[in-house]
Structure 1
């Protein structure tokens, strides 16, 4: 294979979490009497969480931090929204591991990432999951990538970081690994590769053909 290690982002990469997160954010803001169009929230969430919180804050008269507190309180009351892996992700994880590769996660999400992975039966496909914003600095800081590279002796030349945001790409490049942007449409990016669906990642990583 071309790569022995994949370092995955979680939200918007492994799991299609942005739409349900936006629905919860919209409901939380709606409880305050302010309703935002879903497409407006989703476009900003896809860029960054900070951008969508700032957008909502401007529309409600709150600060971004206050908006985040309202959203987190909503989730605490109603629970994490259900979300599924993107198509082909479970099969790709299994094939990559079976071929001798190792999967890792470096995400901004905290403990709930383990719940999502367990519910989808995917926990066993990952060597380790690390969270930015808790132990490690948030992306584009490469601290989480560097931790995984050092702990597991990963060959940077045979490691690929996969994410849906440019901050994922910048974190990977800063760690000296190749990078792949997952995006539904072509985007301006510093990534080494772009894919629009995960079936394309099999060829990119050099996975053996399925028998």
Structure 2
């Protein structure tokens, strides 16, 4: 099985760290669960929703980048799937250097044949260009993400899709924990 992975919220549990940084930026004026909900839609959405200035956005990014990868742990059991797969690739909006830093911290870089990062010049999801590129190169079978935004391009190019910790309509498979992956996803 050849798998395309999203990064934040799919491979790594980064949203608690993002939420803590945004909570600090907003001086504790907004409950963390509300921040988390808006960030899960997208960072751009949350920045607009909370009326962040360009300076606020830059402060957020600088604080988030400076956090140790220890604050951005991989989800339990995801490594079992990485080991099982014939091939894994990543498509993320996150800048390459941040992705590589986290992968190297956990010694996971070797699991991935290729990374398409946010600074590689592809249009942002849900545009399917990056997915088409990876699929034509690696003959992918499945795309896994935590947001509908992650699976829309996969649906468009004919890949099977799996939503992680999200029950929005549109995926072929749904899992809340990677311990259930092999029971739920059968290709």
Q: TM-score, normalised by structure 1?
A: 0.79
CA distance in 2, matches of 1:14, 1:84: 9
After TM superposition, the structure 1 = structure 2 runs for residues 56-205 of structure 1, keeping only pairs within 5 Å, are 56-57=50-51, 62-63=52-53, 65-75=54-64, 78-79=66-67, 82-96=71-85, 101-110=86-95, 111-132=97-118, 134-152=120-138, 154=139, 159-183=141-165, 187-205=167-185
Q: Which has the larger radius of gyration?
A: 1
| Deviations 1:141-188, CA, capped at 9 Å, x for gaps | 111111111223x1x5xx10000001011011122211111116xx23
Q: Distance in 1 between matches of 2:14 and 2:49?
A: 19
Structure 1: stretches of 5+ with no match in the other structure: none
- Do the aligned partners of 1:45 and 1:52 also contact (CA within 8 Å) in 2? yes
Distance in 2 of aligned mates of 1:79 and 1:17:
11
Counterpart for residue 3 of structure 2: 6
What is the CA-CA distance between 1:196 and the residue it aligns to?
1.0
Q: Deviations over 1:62-119 (max 9, x none)?
A: 44x443223124345x4456211001011221122xxxx1111111111201111111
In the superposition, the TM-score normalised over structure 2's length comes to 0.89
Q: Which runs of 5+ in 2 are unaligned?
A: none
Q: Is the Cα contact below 8 Å between 1:24 and 1:75 reproduced in 2?
A: yes
| Alpha-carbon distance between aligned partners in 2 of 1:134 and 1:80, rounded to the nearest angstrom | 24
Instruction: Determine the C-alpha separation between the residues in 2 that align with 1:17 and 1:11.
Output: 6
Aligned to 1:20: 17
Deviations 1:170-210 (A, max 9, x none): 011122211111116xx232111111111222234559xxx
Q: Quote the Cα distance in structure 1 between the aligned partners of 2:62 and 2:135.
A: 36
Report if aligned partners of 2:175, 2:184 keep a CA contact under 8 Å in 1: no
Alignment check: 8 A CA contact 1:132 1:139 kept: no
In 1, the alpha carbon distance for the partners of 2:38 and 2:47 equals 9
- What is the root-mean-square deviation of aligned Cα atoms in Å? 2.0
| Distance across 1 between alignment mates of 2:105 and 2:127 | 29
